[in-house]
Amino acid sequence: MNREPRPQQPTSLAPVFARLCMRQVLLRARRPVEVFQPFLFFALVILLFPLGLGPAPERLAVFAPAILWITALLANLLGIEGLFRQDLEDGTLDQLLSAPQSLYFLLLPHLLAQWIVSGVVLAVCSPLFAYGLSMSSGGAWVLVGSLLLGSGAMTILGALGAALTVGLRRGGMLVSLLVTPLYVPILIFGTGAVDAALEGRDAQPVLALLGGILAAGIALGPLAISAALRISVEN
């Protein structure tokens, strides 16, 4: 018997990536309630603050950046825990992990979809809520930018926590405990950027730091998530 391994054509990545993205779009579109959940949470919690703090505009304006950022952080945390749960239970993860392509790229559609639902939508709508909290309009663009960058980084870190705990029956609380400390620098830089813009200082250095965190997350995050998922399906 010839013991030569059989030659194999390389499989191209782009169409695979496109199909997986389309799959995410369809899956999310069929569950609109889940798509709007982070946004609804964001809107509801922010609307509670004027009730608790009192409607005085100057008082609300002081806390506005922190309120918006912390609420966005919690909205992100809310949905991230179940990111891979269903896929583990129905065998989707097995299919991803046994595919010949690099898991790095196969995971990106998951992360992208989650980021759009729990980050981009909130970031884009945030100036509206900022206005509602009487935040001066000077910080609006920086608010959107910082939330876009920060939510991307939070999604990657949160997905790592979700991947590590997906095999556990009750991973929900554990993910929050694991991930929240990692969110702290992002929160500090995020609110810092908005505060800087509101005080008329240059917000760009802080935004650059957030961008750096996101860039590192994109480069390294999926690798760590891949490894975590491999451990979680192992047995």
Q: Where do contacts with another protein occur on this chain (CB under 8 A)?
A: 1-6, 8, 11, 15-17, 19-20, 22-23, 26-27, 30-31, 87, 89-92, 94-101, 106, 230-231, 233-235
Residue with tokens 């608790």, as numbered in its chain: 52
Give the H/E segment covering residue 230: helix 204-233
Kindly state the smallest distance separating residue 38's Cβ from another protein, in Å: 19
Kindly state the smallest distance separating residue 34's Cβ from another protein, in Å: 10
Q: What is the dihedral of CA 113, 115, 117, 121, to 10 degrees?
A: -130
Which of residues 102 and 137 has its CB atom nearest to another protein in the complex?
102
Which of residues 69 and 110 has its CB atom nearest to another protein in the complex?
110
Are 127 and 143 within 8 A, CB to CB?
yes
Q: What is the CA radius of gyration of the chain?
A: 20
Kindly state the smallest distance separating residue 16's Cβ from another protein, in Å: 4
* 36 SS3 class: helix
CA 12 to chain centre: 28
Kindly state the smallest distance separating residue 27's Cβ from another protein, in Å: 6
CA 53 to chain centre: 28
Which of residues 25 and 74 has its CB atom nearest to another protein in the complex?
25
Which of residues 30 and 169 has its CB atom nearest to another protein in the complex?
30
Are 233 and 97 within 8 A, CB to CB?
yes
Which of residues 166 and 196 has its CB atom nearest to another protein in the complex?
166
Following DSSP, what letter does each residue of 177-206 receive, concatenated? HHHHHHHHHHHHHHHHHHHHHHTTS--HHH
Closest by CA to 177, choosing from 77, 76, 79, is 77
Are 118 and 38 within 8 A, CB to CB?
yes
Which of residues 27 and 124 has its CB atom nearest to another protein in the complex?
27
Kindly state the smallest distance separating residue 105's Cβ from another protein, in Å: 9
Kindly state the smallest distance separating residue 84's Cβ from another protein, in Å: 12
Which of residues 19 and 201 has its CB atom nearest to another protein in the complex?
19
